[in-house]
Structure 1
Amino acid sequence: MKRIFRLSCAFYFLIGITSVMLGALLPVILPHYQRSYSDGGTLLFLQFIGFLAGVLISPALSAGVGRKRLLLIALTAITLAYAVMGTLPAWGLMVLMTVFVGFGSGIIESSIGAFTIEFAEEQKAVAMTKLDVYFGVGSMLLPALASLYIYLGVWNLSFYTVALSTFILLLFWMRMPADSSAHLHQDQVKTDQTETPAKPKYQSGQFKVLSIFVLFFFVYMGIELGMMNFLPSILIESIGISDSAASLSVTFFWGAITIGRLFVGRMAESMSYAPFLIGSTIASMLLIIALALFSSPIMMYVLIFGVGFCISGLFSIALVFANTLMPGMVERTTSTLIAAGGIGGSVLQYLIGWSMDHWSVRPTLWIFALFALVLLISIVLVQQLRTGNAAVRAGMESKY
């Protein structure tokens, strides 16, 4: 199991890399193909459409071919796609390969996440946190490597480097024994067929809470992915730094997220979830506003680090908070909110790319600040509903 978990960490490290690859290289990809920021937003949008397709189809494919073969398919797709992208093919083929990368990444994230939850037993939260840290490390290191390649004038080697790394991971995974989760999967199918338990349903008041959290995750992923993929372009446009230096901003951003994730769990438990989320969203909004007001390179890098640190716990803690408010619905709630985040990440990145083309950098940063305000309002509304429901229950109990 230790060997499998180490490989699981390597898988998450890989999808951390794939999630930031395009953003780190966007400042050099777009001029090479003579494309606009809107085209860059479209490219990122299509990658996340591929990602969502991978997430949604993964359970069915896993049931048909098993997790081991499914992950081999995902690794093969990513390896071949990046190998082709390294040749800098025609724009249409570049777009198609981006979809394949997203598809493989979606399969990996959903499959490895489910696998870890099944086998981690009492240490599920700890195991998932470790995976997230490796995701952050991958997201942090790739921009630094891309920055070096850009500086050396060989930025297309970024694609070849990741293709080679993915191929090596594929070889390690091929040496694993047949899908060790197969027996558990078969047992679960038999249980479902014999017991046919009643499908849980949301209570009437829970739909309001769920709807608000759907909005929260939709907008949050717009912030995280939008900042991750457009930070280099924002810095180039606003303060005129070099492409290689701008690419390092993503390393700062993900370095802060990775560091933050080492502490946010304990912080949220000590403060309780709602105050933690409210404080994090307020701090994030203020730091993003400061990004729109300052033009000093050093200050902007400090603020980028601060934004990354403040948003580092929003996704995981909001997910835990949502499930505590809707007990007994963990699987449905989690999948719904992750899907909402994936859709929001793709749609809002398209909006950000359009804004960069038509309104330039400063208005785009104000859009990010508006997104953070929406997150704040969402948590406040959830807390009000929670308080109101508690008051109603207390009033009803006092009558008896």
Structure 2
Amino acid sequence: MKKLIWLGCLSYFVIGLATVIFGTLMSNLLHDYGRNFSDGGSIVFAQFGGFLAGVLFAPRCVRSLGYRRGIWLAFAGLFAAHAILFLQPYWYVLFIPATLNGFCFGLAQTAIGTLLLEASDKNKAVTMSRLEVAFGVGALLMPAISSLFLKNNSGFGPFAIVASCACLMMMIWIFSYTDYAKKAGNEGAEPDTSAAKHSTTNIIKFYPLAFLMCFVFLYVGLETSTINFLPSVFESRLHFESSQATLTVSIFWISMIIGRIFSGVIAEQIGYFKFLLISSSGALISLIGLAFFENAWIVFALVFAAGLFLSGIFAIAVVHANNANPESTKQTTSIIIASGGIGGALLPLLVGWSMDAVQPGAATWLLAGFAVLMILFLLQVRTVPSAKVRRHKIVENDINISGRQ
């Protein structure tokens, strides 16, 4: 099991690199191609469309191909996408690898997360938190890698790095997972995916899951907006220099990584619901503080605190949702991740509009409003009466990772 967790962490590290690469290179890409920010938004939206398709396709892919084949094919697609991007294609061709990039890291992220949730008998929150730490390290390192290449006038070099890492992960998944499966007690490297042999009726508790979907929708939108817009807010409202404003993003990611190291253990000790409630409340207080204080050191401390409180929410929300639907892990994980992807694409548009239509400082209050709504939806998860829970039946092939029927 430890080997599988390490394999998942390495995979999430590469996924983190692939997820943020367009954001770190966007200004340079637009300059090289002579395009404007609207064109850049189209590229980001194409990647989001691919991501959403990959997340929703993951359960079907796993049923048809098994985890190992599905994951290494996802990394093969990532390799192909970034190899094409490294070759500097024409602008309109760029949309194809951008979409493929999103599709493949969405597929890999969902499949790996589901695999580890199904393979773990206990401490699922700890396992998911480790994956999120690895993702955060990749997301933190990519800007530094891009900066190094840009200083040497090689704006497309980072695509080669991601392509190489994706190729390596593809080879590791092809060979290493087979060994793990045999050691774990499964006679075959792949679970039996024959629809004729295994079929179960899985139940999803729709109403609690719907509230958790809204919760994660708001969370990912809040996190994405914080990363992308807080530097601009600080430059405008607090008159930070560009280097100071950019530093806030690094502080945020560092605190996210630190928080994710401990969030799984804490959540297992105090309970998932209480952890999510405390984290959301702490994030709300931190964001309100950012709207009031102007001292640079206090602002940096509040950004660090916001990162700590937000760090474990996504992983624990996924585990909490799966605990409510233990027989539908693939569907539940896919639905939750897709909800987050939609929030990460749509809510930043609202935040950007507020900065143009009102004033940059309004974005901070809007982010705090997202946190308030998160708390309200989370409280609804606890207060839904069991008698009113609506159940939707989903029939799927039984892919048993642990070997139990």
Q: 1:57 to 1:321 in 2, by over 3 A?
A: closer
Q: CA deviation at 1:40?
A: 4.2
Alignment deviations for residues 268-319 of structure 1 (CA, whole Å, 9 cap, x no partner) = 3444444433332222123223334455555443332221111112223333
1:15 alignment partner in structure 2: 15
Q: Which of residues 198, 203, 212 is equivalent to 1:200?
A: 203
1:138 to 2:138 alignment: yes
1:108 to 2:108 alignment: yes
Q: 1:125 to 1:237 in 2, by over 3 A?
A: same
Alignment deviations for residues 313-340 of structure 1 (CA, whole Å, 9 cap, x no partner) = 2223333444555666555444332222
Q: 1:167 to 1:358 in 2, by over 3 A?
A: farther
Select between 305-314 and 83-92 the one with higher mean Cα deviation. Answer: 83-92
1:343 alignment partner in structure 2: 342
1:218 alignment partner in structure 2: 217
Amino acid at match of 2:221: G
2:257 alignment partner in structure 1: 258
1:313 alignment partner in structure 2: 312
Q: TM-score, normalised on structure 2?
A: 0.78
The 8 Å contact of residues 38 and 350 in structure 1, kept in 2 or not, is answered as: no
Alignment deviations for residues 339-362 of structure 1 (CA, whole Å, 9 cap, x no partner) = 222222222234344445555632
Q: 1:148 to 1:353 in 2, by over 3 A?
A: farther
Q: 1:356 to 1:221 in 2, by over 3 A?
A: same
The alignment yields a C-alpha RMSD, in angstroms, of 3.7
The 8 Å contact of residues 140 and 252 in structure 1, kept in 2 or not, is answered as: no
SS at match of 2:361: helix
The 8 Å contact of residues 355 and 363 in structure 1, kept in 2 or not, is answered as: yes
Matches within 5 A, 1:1-400: 4-30=4-30, 33=33, 37-86=37-86, 88-122=88-122, 124-150=124-150, 154-176=154-176, 188-190=192-194, 193-194=196-197, 196-200=199-203, 202=205, 207-231=206-230, 234=233, 239=239, 241-242=241-242, 248-294=247-293, 297-324=296-323, 331-356=330-355, 358-359=357-358, 361-385=360-384
Q: Distance in 1 between matches of 2:296 and 2:89?
A: 34
The 8 Å contact of residues 322 and 328 in structure 2, kept in 1 or not, is answered as: yes
Q: 1:34 to 1:235 in 2, by over 3 A?
A: farther
The 8 Å contact of residues 82 and 160 in structure 1, kept in 2 or not, is answered as: yes
Greater helix content:
1
Q: CA deviation at 1:11?
A: 0.8
SS at match of 1:335: helix
Alignment deviations for residues 28-59 of structure 1 (CA, whole Å, 9 cap, x no partner) = 44555565555544433322221121122234
Q: 1:147 to 1:365 in 2, by over 3 A?
A: farther
Q: TM-score, normalised on structure 1?
A: 0.78
Q: Distance in 2 between matches of 1:373 and 1:66?
A: 40
Amino acid at match of 2:369: L
SS at match of 1:361: coil
SS at match of 2:203: coil
The unaligned stretches of length 5 or more in structure 2 are 389-405
Alignment deviations for residues 2-37 of structure 1 (CA, whole Å, 9 cap, x no partner) = 655433321111111222223333454455556555
The percentage of aligned residue pairs carrying the same residue is 34
